[in-house]
Structure 1
Amino acid sequence: MQFRDIIGHDLVKAHLISTVRENRVSHAQLFLGPEGSGSLALALAYAQFINCENKAEFDSCGLCSSCRKYNKLIHPDLHFSYPFIAKHKEDNAATFIENWRKAFLNNPYLSLENWRQQLDADNKQVNINIAEAHEIIKKLSLKSFEAEFKVLIMWLPEYLEKEGNALLKLIEEPPEKTLFLLVAENQNKILNTIISRTQLVKINKLSHQAITSYLIENKNLEESEARDIAFIADGNVQEAINMIDTQTNNHFNLLVKWLRLIVQDSGLNIISICEEELAKLGRENQKTFLMYAINIMRQIILIKLDLSNLVFLSAHELDFVNKFATHYTIEQIEETINLFETTHYSVERNANPKILFLDLSLQLVLMFKYKTFPKGTQYI
């Protein structure tokens, strides 16, 4: 993985390259960025650049022995750790390394959900267990085989839980020429004792334009289609890829139809659309539909704040948000976003879609009809 292969993040790339050029490589770094932003790919490109045998000015060469092995994820001094489902207490990340290589090489922007699918996880919980912590200590206590640096890239240390305490001394006082790169999405779920021992590399979500360009150049989409998908994906490359794979970028008509029934408090029709249309979308389509709805609501807030210059919508979408914005308060729209996000979370965890969307619809009826919404209220 080379820096040039990664979408956007020019400032982050420049910073990482400068730390190597100026011999300021911190032994423990936390790459913190939202899902689908490319944090994991950046960490790998950074490690490859550090160990490249013939560095160019702004990237690894891609051709030396080290780079060729990095490109296949088979370098003996490159180690990965990630959440998995242990069938036996001695299972560790290496047990699933072939699944990992396949998943990452197919899509370096992969999400936890896509990784779980590689593991046939169903509803089982993933984590990084104590056996994996012990294996990390064992591997990193050995001398390097070929490269100057031994590198451990840990994806989603949020799933390390209390087992991470076994690694504290190693992270704080690692063997010489050992590099820890932790790649996380939610800082609040990481052990504070680990955060305090790492240097933060903040990675922002990608711009709509960056994803639009990526979809045009790499997925052969027309500009209008790429722009629509980038808008819904909201900086998440994985989400954009999911939408292409499932062809779920045409949610506007369904959203307008559903919201119209809600504001009209059309009970039987609400039940019908929840059972016959929303529940039958399938989980991935339901997630992208909700993300699209969230983004539309965010555009409405921008309109109400007189920030129309930040709104990028097609003509029919813009007409809808302008009309919708005149009827409801910012507080109502914000609460609507919260409800959509809560529902998205439940969809990811395989909640019953008929009950889920009906419950959501009835909560929205109450809020839109009576202008107030007591938080925590549930219909069913």
Structure 2
Amino acid sequence: MLFKQVVGQEDIKSRLVRMVNDNRVSHALLFTGPEGNGKLAMAIAFAQYLNCLNPNESDSCGECTSCKKYAKLVHPDLHFVFPVIKSNTTSSPVSDNFISEWRALVNETPYFSLTTWLGQIRKEGDNKQGAIFTSESSEIIKKLSLKTFEGKHKVMIIWMPEKMNESTANKLLKILEEPSQSTVFILVSNNPDEMISTILSRTQQLKIPAYSQKEIEGHLIERFNISGDEAEGAAKVANGNLIFGEEQVRMSEENEFFFDRFIQMMRHSYARKVGDLLKWVEEMSRHPREMQRNFLNYAINMIRENYIMNFKQGDIVYLTPKQMEWSKKFSPFINDKNAMTIAGDFALADSHIGQNGNSKVVLFDLGLKLIISIKEGN
């Protein structure tokens, strides 16, 4: 991937190019910032620039043998680590077990969420969470113990390092402390605070900002060939998240699913239909945990936007026309009396499910709290 193929972030690109040209590349870089800011695409473009045989002042050449292999993500000195799912047939899964699926998704688009990735490799009916398991550390050590095959650097891109278990993180720490020659680690993280502090202290952090609305608009128009008005609406709702902006244009099934389930949950809670709420919980708990957590975060966003609607400031409300139409009737029920409580209850449920809490218990408890909070707000 060339830098020019990465959407926006021109200041970050210039900084990375200067880093290479001034020979100031750290052996361990941490790309951080909010989801949907192009971190993974930037990491791949930077890795390609590091190994390009004929780089220019601002980008890789795109024509040398190294660039051609990078374009297909098959360069022998480019390695990936990412969350995978442990199945009944694979007790010690590693990223290389899923490298074909990974390359296919990244080559299709480098802008995707963890849920999208795990959906590519999850078997039907499997709701296990993705993680970077201990078995991965042995693979990392083995790969990096070898000399470079044909590139200037061996590059190890670790996507979502916060998904490492403690044992894996500790083994990685040892490698970061004593890296092999010509090795560059690029960690790409949405939530670096969830990583162990000793790894954070051994990386050079590069904070990449969220995209501007104009950057997302331009990308959506180019990628989907849509009108300026449609792109503007999607970019506004995206609120800096390019992944979410693309999903708005596609009107993905997941977003439609979340919106439908949110409406159901609110109606059951408002009407105090505990039996219907229990059926809702039963259905929702059958979905993968990542999807449950994404729904809860979607709901938090909807609660926030509906609360803001009460202030009659349309320019700071980030809702699609369909969401806006429904929220005109619902927003009065989310007010000063209950908005913070409801949002906090959803956030707590997300935390409990993330810690492998029983989904049925957590979601039903959330529903009961919601019944009380909505009553208190009216």
User: Do the two structures share a fold, i.e. TM-score over 0.5?
Assistant: yes
Equivalent residue, structure 2, for 1:170 = 175
SS in 2 for 1:179: strand
User: Which residue pairs with 2:64 in the alignment?
Assistant: 64
- The total of aligned residue pairs comes to 368
Write the deviation string for residues 309-365 of structure 1: whole angstroms up to 9, x where unpaired. 644667897798799777764463233333445567789999879x98776554333
Match for residue 378 of structure 1?
A: none
**1:346 & 1:232 partners in 2: Cα distance?**
28
186, 189, 201: which is aligned to 2:191?
Answer: 186
Assess if the C-alpha contact under 8 Å between 2:35 and 2:241 holds in 1.
yes
Query: CA 1:339 to 1:230, structure 2 compared with 1: closer, same or farther past 3 Å?
Result: farther
- The one-letter code sitting in structure 2 at the alignment partner of 1:368 is I
Mapped to 2, the partners of 1:258 and 1:92 lie a distance apart of 39
SS of residue in 1 equivalent to 2:185: strand
Q: For residue 128 of structure 2, what is the aligned residue in structure 1?
A: 124
Structure 1 Cα separation of the partners of residues 212 and 254 of structure 2? 20
Partner of 2:42: 42
2:101 is matched with which residue: 95, 99, 103? Answer: 99
User: Quick one: percent identity of the two aligned structures?
Assistant: 37
- Which range moved further: 127-136 or 314-323? 314-323
Maintained 8 Å contact 2:337/2:376: no
Q: Which amino acid aligns with 1:237?
A: L
Normalising by structure 2, we get a TM-score of 0.78
Change (3 A) 1:357 1:180: closer
Residue 14 of structure 1 and its aligned partner are, at CA, apart by 2.1
Give 3-state SS (helix, strand or coil) of 1:267's partner. Answer: coil
Letter in 2 for 1:182: L
Q: Within 5 Å, which residues of 2 pair with 1:99-248?
A: 99-121=101-123, 122-160=126-164, 161-243=166-248, 244=250, 246=252
Assess, with a 3 A threshold, how the Cα gap between structure 1 residues 21 and 313 changes in structure 2: closer, same or farther: same
Q: 1:305 to 1:23 in 2, by over 3 A?
A: farther
Per the alignment, residue 377 of structure 1 pairs with none
1:20 aligns with 2:20: yes
Report the CA distance shift for 1:214/1:346 in structure 2 as closer, same or farther (over 3 A): farther
Cα distance in structure 2, aligned partners of 1:64 and 1:148 = 13
**Residue 199 of structure 1, CA deviation:** 0.8
TM-score (norm 1): 0.78
- Gapped regions of structure 1 (runs ≥ 5): 373-380
Q: Which moved more, 1:156-165 or 1:290-299?
A: 290-299
2:306·2:334 contact (CA, 8 Å) conserved in 1? no
Say whether the 8 Å CA contact 1:232–1:295 is kept in structure 2.
no
Q: Cα–Cα, structure 1 residues 248 and 213, in superposed 2: closer, same or farther, change >3 Å? A: farther
AA in 1 matched with 2:113 = S
Q: Which residue of 2 aligns with 1:83?
A: 83
